[in-house]
Chains A and B, each alone.
Chain A
Amino acid sequence: MAGEVTQMSITPDWDEQPRLPRNGLWVGILAGALLLAIVVSLGVGAVGVPARKLVLALLGREALTTDQRVIVLSLRLPRILAAALVGSALSVSGLLFQGLFRNPLADPYVIGSSGGAVLGASVGVFLLPSVTIAGFGATALLGFVGAASSIMLVYALARVNGRTPVVTLLLAGFAVSTMLSYSSYFLEVLDRDFGTGLRVLASWLHGTIGQPTWGQLTIGLIMLALGLAASVPLARRLNTLSLGEEYATHLGIHVQHTRIAIIVIGSMLTAAAVALGGLISFVGLIVPHMMRMVLGPDHTRLLPATALAGAVFLLLADTVARTIIAPAELSVGVLTAFIGGPFFLYLLRKTKQETLL
């Protein structure tokens, strides 16, 4: 291996190097950033509200006008919470899938689980529109089923001798997600009332965070909370699984159970994200990667940091998307594709050099 060459440099005393910042510090910083982003985003838009006034109003010291109240609390707040929730869910599911595939390029969009969730959810919207549970319809459940089945399909297709090479992962993900997305278009034909279904599907395929009802937000929040809680005991296992199946099995990790747990939790998070925001690409790729650059690859540190950073990232992206071409609005999915596409290519190029092919 070329590793010998790096030995030529004088080895510094590594013990003298400062330890990476404690995890708690980063969680604190990111939580602060999330609060700040929420306040800023609440004030930004067609009707601007100064941040100072907003903070005082939130603390109950000052009163907003009725217009401001409606805009800030009834229109912007649900959307802001939805963006944060979607970003968090996508980032954590990306982190989980990257651990499962042992491949840093596994993003819920790239590997087809988002496409599966859209197809499942579309079936709910078009074929079972009258079945509703707390305003969410059969969409959440079917979205979960769609995400889980597509990820199992891609996983089975992409594995070669116990590994998931980049080539097979990307090809299998591409083929499966393309089939799934266009199957969703096919469902348009079945639309009977020519209206809500089509509008919902269009916004899903563009990756738009719309105006969620509080009921939808609650369901999404419950799914996110369950997913995050269930990921906590998985984080350490993902570290061991990173060393490969042989090591993990020998060290007493039940590899098969862990994989099933990852697929179930990751699909639930994807379904929650898709139900609120549709196909938003690359968030699950960018955020875990940035956090890995700062905190290293330890999943026990990455999990809380990724959940918070994902929320901040998509909230900021959605704020830009709804203001950048005001009075019109951009779909946040368009924006993340613009940022994430080149980032993905950069990662792909870097990965190739590290002989992951």
Chain B
Amino acid sequence: MTLLLEFAQTSFCYGDRLILNEISASVSNGECVALVGPNGVGKTTLLRLAAGTLSPASGEIRLLGQPLDCFKQQAIARSIALVPQNVDVPFAFTVEQFIEQGRTPFLRMFGGLQAADRRAIEEAMDLTDTRSLRRRIFNQLSGGERQRVKIALGLAQRPRLLLLDEPTQHLDIGRQLEMADLIRSLSAKGIAILASMHDLTLIEGIFSSVWLLSPEEGMRKGTPEEILQPEFLGRAFKCPPHHHSVLEERIRGRRERVQ
């Protein structure tokens, strides 16, 4: 397995507030990683660093062994697609027009969409089951549809690595399970995934590894079974010890159902 994306002692600060402290981790080809941690610990920041929209304060990020800042942003966007959490579009773009924007990194200065671009867009719509939405107005979609269309834009970039920022947030349970299926099927297609996840019960059975970010202890990496332990989660999320049984029950219950 080749290393796709590597964080090497990467740190980031907003002003004088240190968000990420010497993070070292890597995503291999086809790996499916869940990024968990309390609010404000820097999950979104880590995804933005990986997408090239932020630069680390120190340390390095490598894409296929090359430092990320050696690439043009367009080249990064041809290998890595970021699906942000919130999107607000002021005009009434259709779903198809929205997804077309994923081809931006492939277009020339004056050029329009070519046949290859059209194919990538159709394929992205097939993978996310959004073909039937193509003439709908993006702003009028439901939360679950909107999330799928955003992922379709990312897939239109034909990425090796898909970065998902809280893909299941604000979705009802049915749409959450639908999203879980979509992530599983994309992963099966060989697309590596790094997703920040709020809902810990959705992780097992979908993700092959978990990165737990904690404000005090930095990053802990492992399989879902290794990381989703009450003592680790309790420390990272600052749950008092008498609540550890609640944590345990939640994850246990899930684990038994999976088995």
List the interface of chain A (C-beta within 8 A of B). Answer: 1, 3-4, 6-7, 11, 13-15, 17, 102-104, 163, 232-233, 236, 239-240, 242-244, 246-247, 249-253, 292, 296-298, 300, 354, 356
List the interface of chain B (C-beta within 8 A of A). Answer: 48, 51-53, 72-74, 76-77, 82, 84, 87-94, 97-98, 101-102, 104-105, 107, 109-110, 112, 131-136, 139-143, 145-146, 157, 170
Known contacts: A242-B91, A292-B92, A296-B94. The answer to whether A252 contacts B73 by CB under 8 A is: yes
B132/A14 in contact, CB under 8 A? yes
Query: What are 29 A-B contacts defined by CB distance under 8 Å?
Result: A1-B142, A1-B170, A3-B142, A3-B143, A3-B145, A6-B142, A14-B133, A14-B135, A15-B134, A104-B90, A239-B93, A239-B101, A243-B89, A244-B84, A244-B87, A247-B84, A247-B87, A249-B53, A249-B73, A250-B52, A250-B82, A251-B73, A251-B74, A251-B157, A252-B74, A292-B92, A298-B93, A298-B97, A300-B112
CB neighbours of A354 from chain B (8 A): 139
B143/A1 in contact, CB under 8 A? yes
CB neighbours of B76 from chain A (8 A): 252
Nearest CB in chain A: distance from B54 CB, A:
9
Known pairs A4-B143, A244-B87, A252-B73. 12 more at Cβ < 8 A? A14-B136, A102-B90, A232-B110, A242-B91, A244-B84, A246-B48, A252-B105, A296-B92, A296-B94, A296-B97, A297-B93, A298-B97
CB neighbours of A102 from chain B (8 A): 90
A-B contact count (CB 8 A): 100
- A13, A252, A298, A356 — which one has the most chain B CB atoms within 10 A of its CB? A252
A250/B51 in contact, CB under 8 A? yes
CB neighbours of A251 from chain B (8 A): 73-74, 77, 101-102, 104-105, 157
CB neighbours of B135 from chain A (8 A): 14-15, 17
Nearest CB in chain A: distance from B43 CB, A:
15
Cα-based distance from A13 to B134 in the complex (angstroms): 10
Residue of A nearest to B91 (CB): A297
Cα-based distance from A239 to B51 in the complex (angstroms): 20
CB neighbours of B105 from chain A (8 A): 251-252
CB neighbours of B141 from chain A (8 A): 3
CB neighbours of A298 from chain B (8 A): 93, 97
Q: Which of B102, B109, B146 contacts A233 (CB 8 A)?
A: B109
A104/B91 in contact, CB under 8 A? yes
Nearest CB in chain A: distance from B95 CB, A:
9
Residue of A nearest to B165 (CB): A246
CB neighbours of A253 from chain B (8 A): 104
Cα-based distance from A242 to B139 in the complex (angstroms): 12
CB neighbours of A252 from chain B (8 A): 72-74, 76-77, 104-105
Cα-based distance from A11 to B109 in the complex (angstroms): 38
Residue of A nearest to B103 (CB): A251
Nearest CB in chain B: distance from A14 CB, A:
4
